[in-house]
Amino acid sequence: MQGKTEPFESMFIARQPVFTPDESVWGYELLFRSGRENEAVIDDESQATASVIADGLTLATEGMDPAARILINFPEKLLVEDAGFALPKERCVVEILENVRPGRETLAAARRLKDAGYTLAVDDFFGQDELRPFVELADIVKMDILALGADPARIKAGMAGLPGKVTLLAEKVEDNETFKTLRDMGFSLFQGFFFSHPEIIPGRKLTANETTRLQVLGELAKPDFEPVRLAAILQSDPSLTYRLFRYVNSAGFGLLEKITSAKRAMDMMGMIQAKQWLRSVVLADLNPSPKAGELAYLAVHRAKFMESICSSSNRPVCEPDTLFMTGLFSLLDAMLGMSMHDILKSLPLEESVVQALDGNGELYDLLRLATSYERGQWGETSQRLKKLALDSFQAELLYIQSRSWAQKMLGYSKAE
């Protein structure tokens, strides 16, 4: 698609999870970007939010738990124009941006939403008196922890005088220590990348189940892996066989009859997809916690995106399976609470994968491209696309398709 003029402007939505104190997923904030250059600054906030309402909501919520709440940013223009009424109030939260000032029109608009049963959030509050009228109406108050230097004294000062009814959401929480401090201070919701950073537990050893799962991942990583080994792994675990049947019977393979044997299922999928499916579900089984479930989804999404970029590019040296493994294993440290170095000792991975997981090499650039998309870091996304000579429209399409693929792969965990 390089060099062609697209008939429409590309539109891209990222979503960031919001967690409860027990690290279950409460919901997601949607982040919008438009234009082919991945601008970090949105020139027209109203257009951005309107696009989220019109098109992005459906795109971003595909495969999402129906109980998850959705935060959508509202600039002054759309707030006053009552655009929030286009959203389902049972699910969506109207987030009033920090640059909206309480005035006659904006307060009246916020009250109309509140009276109609909508949930209101105030963004980037750290004690500003001018935002107090919005805070009095709000159900959720978001505090930017990085802007406050993660300083407990400054955070407490910002919390002073808040109505007792409001729910406190800490955003830009970057590490587990800060998360735990804020949880003890009374915050109820948490947004940031603390969940994807490893919390190293001294003396931590793998459980028998984790060891078995890592051994399976190691087997699947071998270049000389044979189909007979895949069949043996499935036969040793009835739950995997059951889930394989359910996946194949529901994943749109155009079947005229139900699959009744693991061999038939693998034949229908093909060896490559069968390996990808097994890697994905084994990874998701490593840790049953809610946080790890979100991490597994991110890892599978990264894996497929990186593989797709490789398959769709004209790169002289590109091995899709190697890139898939790089993305898949990239969050193992956060899932297991161990250093990546210790985990990699259990996995016979290629040197290029090991380098990428250590933060070096060409594969690391593709891994960072995936993470910049996840985090809505559009400036970095643009730089990495240019460095890798990738077309932004094509990359976005592959990212969206990879998300859909990951949802299908892990559909059993989303539905249950």
What are 1-47's pLDDT values in tens digits? 344 444 334 556 778 899 999 999 999 998 776 544 444 334 455 66
Is this structure's pTM higher than 0.85?
Answer: no
Range of 32-46, 355-369, 387-401 with top mean pLDDT: 355-369
Residue pair 295/196 in contact (Cβ under 8 Å)? The answer is: yes
User: For residue 144, which phi and psi values (nearest 5 degrees)?
Assistant: -80, 105
Residue 193 corresponds to which tokens in the numbers above?
Answer: 């990348």
Q: Is the dihedral of CA 36, 41, 44, 46 positive or negative?
A: positive
Q: Token match 């919008």: residue?
A: 32
pLDDT at position 203 is 74
Name which of 56, 60, 132 is nearest 96 in CA terms: 132
Using pLDDT thresholds of 50, 70 and 90, give the confidence band for residue 80. Answer: very high
167-171 vs 11-19, strand pairing mode: unpaired
Mean per-residue pLDDT for 319-346?
A: 88
User: At CA 415, angle to CA 413 and CA 416, rounded to 5?
Assistant: 70
Name which of 345, 349, 342, 347 is nearest 323 in CA terms: 349
How far is the C-alpha of 48 from the C-alpha of 74, rounded, in Å?
A: 9
Residue 195 corresponds to which tokens in the numbers above?
Answer: 């969940």
Which DSSP category does 55 fall into? I
**Exposure on the CB side of residue 111, measured as CA atoms within 13 A:** 9
How far is the C-alpha of 416 from the C-alpha of 409, rounded, in Å?
A: 14
Residue 244 corresponds to which tokens in the numbers above?
Answer: 């394989």
How far is the C-alpha of 173 from the C-alpha of 20, rounded, in Å?
A: 13
Over residues 278-309, the pLDDT tens digits come to 889 888 888 878 888 889 999 999 999 999 98
Mean per-residue pLDDT for 373-396?
A: 85
Instruction: Tell me: pLDDT of 202 over 80.
Output: no
Amino acid, single-letter form, for residue 216: V
How far is the C-alpha of 267 from the C-alpha of 59, rounded, in Å?
A: 32
Residue pair 158/185 in contact (Cβ under 8 Å)? The answer is: no
Round the average pLDDT of the chain to a whole number and report it: 82
Instruction: Tell me: pLDDT of 133 over 50.
Output: yes
pLDDT at position 198 is 81
Q: Is the dihedral of CA 94, 95, 99, 100 positive or negative?
A: positive
pLDDT > 90 fraction of the chain, expressed in percent and rounded: 31
pLDDT at position 183 is 96
Angle, helix 392-409 to helix 271-285, in steps of 10 degrees: 70
